[in-house]
Structure 1
Amino acid sequence: MKNVIQLAHGSGGKLSHELVSAVIQPILGNPVLDQMHDAAAVCIQNTRLAFTTDSFVVKPLFFTGGDIGKLAVCGTVNDLAMTGAVPLFLTLGLIIEEGFSLDELERILHSMARAAGEAGVQIAAGDTKVVEKGAADGIFINTAGIGAIMEGVHISPLNARPGQDIIINGFLGEHALAVMQDRHGLTFPASLNSDCAPLAGLVKEILTKVPEVAVLRDPTRGGLATALNEIALAAKVGMLIEEEALPVSTEVRAVCDILGFDPLYLANEGKMIVLSEHKNTENILTVLHNHPYGREARVIGKVTSQPAGQVGLRTAIGGIRLLDMLTGDQLPRIC
């Protein structure tokens, strides 16, 4: 690792993983932090809670299908949901650049209020700071969230076991390409929008029917391939994904073919990976297919015993391609 921070350290990929594991965790590590999940699971007076924090620096602030406010609420709510928690409260920290439009600030706050209403959470505390012009690129948002982990639910990346099915709830890569379009003034198909959405309600429905789900993870920065690698490394298992089963829309595939992107590494903001025993798959898919955020859900592969810590993709012609974590940064400032 070089001795300075690079933009790719914020990509959610290999350099992000190295920054956390080689620099941050050795200094600040403790049994709670070392869970390395989307949110920390803690127990306070016999009550199991999930606790998380996130910061949002997306550029541009407004994009097709969402904005930084909606993104902040959905991203925090989804991190709580990935631990099997029902989100309850969020905090809101605003770092605003001098000269920022009050009209745009109100637009962002209204968007947050709508997203919080859909997710069933309250913004319970906050803080506002103003910095000099040129010091914050408009506005940055920091959030924290707390939720109650559902009874009988024990979600952890360490629960991945050979034989489990790997399920995704819909199309990949839409968020990254929606942001790219508006950042660079490109014209993509009108149907291509960010998938930014709060998944807590859908997760609650799944866990109510199948509380023994093993792993949940939202493939945000770094995309599906990076998220699967993180789980495989944590649980010391292998994974085999079927290329022909991957849900990639015609629009995303066409844009990726033109620009040279791989949808497996594109960021998502309304998608989740579900790992569970095969006997539960039909029930999980039934819940997903009956929900607006899961209608394109499908099984995309299986957890295997070997090679431990690696993810393979069986291609359409029958070969096996190893999938690594994202290297570099396909598109920075994505969330």
Structure 2
Amino acid sequence: MQEFISKHITSHFPKMDTEVPLDALDDSAVVDDVVFTIDGHTVNPLFFPGGDIGKIAVSGTVNDISVMGAKPIGIASSVVLEEGLDADIVDRVMKSMGDTAAYAGVPIVTGDTKVMGAGELDKMVVSTAAIGKRPDYLDHDMEVANSYRKVDSRWCSDSNTRPGDVIIVSGYMGDHGIALLSFREGYGFDSVIESDVQPLNKMIEKGLRVGGIVAMKDPTRGGLANTLNEWAGKSKCQLDIDEECIPLRDGVVSACELLGIEPLNIGNEGKCVISVVPEMAEEVLKAIRSTPEGKDAAIIGKASEGPGRVVLRTEIGGRRILEPPSGDPVPRIC
């Protein structure tokens, strides 16, 4: 998908001299200190254990703004409906969007609604965009980071990680993808896994107020493996990860073993990967763990000198290259 986007989509757009431009392929762009993002959502099924397309639409967009270090301040929503779709379904999705926006404290301020003919669309597509502004606590965060080493970007961008930085995940990996897959396909696993979908802006603010965070990203499509490889490539350093430190539920591991898929490739919708200067790592971890969204956060490794790759230290003491996924094993997770 990244190759397709770079070759067939962004290559046709004019380049702009902005602080975080389109071709950086970060979660959001920055134009004149305004942070902007947009997402399209095509989840199947619309409702699943722990969430629905409406909750994903709001959470994902809020999180894309937040991981840049910005404060989300407003959401726009575009909804395309299939002709004949039950109005009760529409009401459930819209109520979920409203409840999630209220929880995040980010209002839905404008939108658009269209209808396509029966059979021309699979029930519903929801697109959400958002804007954010640079908060004072991001300036504090970067000042703390700069007191230990030079930070190249004023934002928490993918290319900011440097050797020595500590990598934190905010909780269990793979919950969303397995919840959606097992419910959709009716596998009937013994363990009931619920989606992790949730807005993370309050948790992220807590971490930024401590200071020292240099990069953040939500590991959606392609999971943790894809996020870490993006960081390693853009930051031009090696990420050394301890497999046994990565939070994974037994049910997720068992499901992945049965299906023959890598749990680190499974998408998440309510988790964050954080890179922080080593001197502040324990304080940031403590702050994140004090929130409901980050109570299971863990340090999983650090960056080091080396080529842009991810090296996984296995539970039995071996080492292997963690490759980016060649394809998403769980289609339509968001």
TM-score by length of 1: 0.91
The question of 1:34 aligning with 2:23 is answered yes
Q: Is the 8 A contact 1:164 1:277 kept in 2?
A: yes
Q: 1:1-335, aligned counterparts within 5 Å?
A: 16-31=1-16, 32-43=21-32, 48-151=33-136, 152=139, 153=142, 154-189=155-190, 191-210=192-211, 212-306=212-306, 308-335=307-334
Contact 2:221-2:267 within 8 A present in 1 as well: yes
Residues 187-212 of structure 1: CA distance to partner in whole angstroms, max 9, x if unpaired? 234541000000001111111111x3
Matched position secondary structure for 2:205? helix
Q: 2:213 aligns to what SS in structure 1?
A: coil
Distance in structure 2 (CA, Å) of the matches to 1:190 and 1:67: 20
- Percent identity reads 40
CA contact (8 A) 2:41 2:126 kept: yes
Shift of 1:259: 1.5
Q: Distance in 2 between matches of 1:294 and 1:323?
A: 25
**How far apart, in 1, do the equivalents of 2:56 and 2:14 lie?**
28
Residues 281-311 of structure 1 show CA distances to partners (whole Å, capped at 9, x for unaligned) of 11111111111111111110111111x2111
Query: Which moved further from structure 2: 88-97 or 18-27?
Result: 18-27
C-alpha distance in 2 between matches for 1:29 and 1:199: 32
| 2:324 counterpart letter in structure 1 | M
> In 2, distance between residues paired with 1:123 and 1:190?
36
Contact 2:81–2:125 at 8 Å: present in 1 too? yes
Supply the distance in 2 between the matched residues of 1:113 and 1:168 (Cα, whole angstroms): 28
**Contact kept? 1:40, 1:50, Cα under 8 Å:** yes
TM-fit CA distance, 1:29: 5.0
Separation of aligned partners in 2, 1:29 and 1:281: 39
Distance (whole Å) between structure 2 residues aligned to residue 288 and residue 217 of structure 1 = 15
Q: Which amino acid aligns with 1:284?
A: V
Asked if 2 retains the 8 angstrom alpha-carbon contact of 1:157 and 1:231, the reply is yes
Aligned partners of 2:222 and 2:327 also within 8 Å: no
Q: Contact 1:168 / 1:298 at 8 angstroms: preserved in 2?
A: yes
Which letter does structure 1 place at the counterpart of 2:109? A
CA distance in 1, matches of 2:45, 2:181: 9
Alignment gaps of 5+ in structure 2: 143-154
In structure 1, the gaps of 5 or more residues are 1-15
In structure 2, C-alpha distance between the alignment counterparts of 1:289 and 1:82, rounded to whole Å: 17
Residue 265 of structure 2 contacts residue 328 of structure 2 at CA under 8 Å; is this kept in 1?
A: no
Looking at structure 2, the residues matched to 112 and 277 of structure 1 have their Cα atoms a distance apart, in angstroms, of 35
Query: In the alignment, is the contact (CA less than 8 A) between 1:83 and 1:149 conserved in 2?
Result: no
Please give the alpha-carbon distance, in whole angstroms, between the structure 2 residues aligned to 1:326 and 1:244: 20
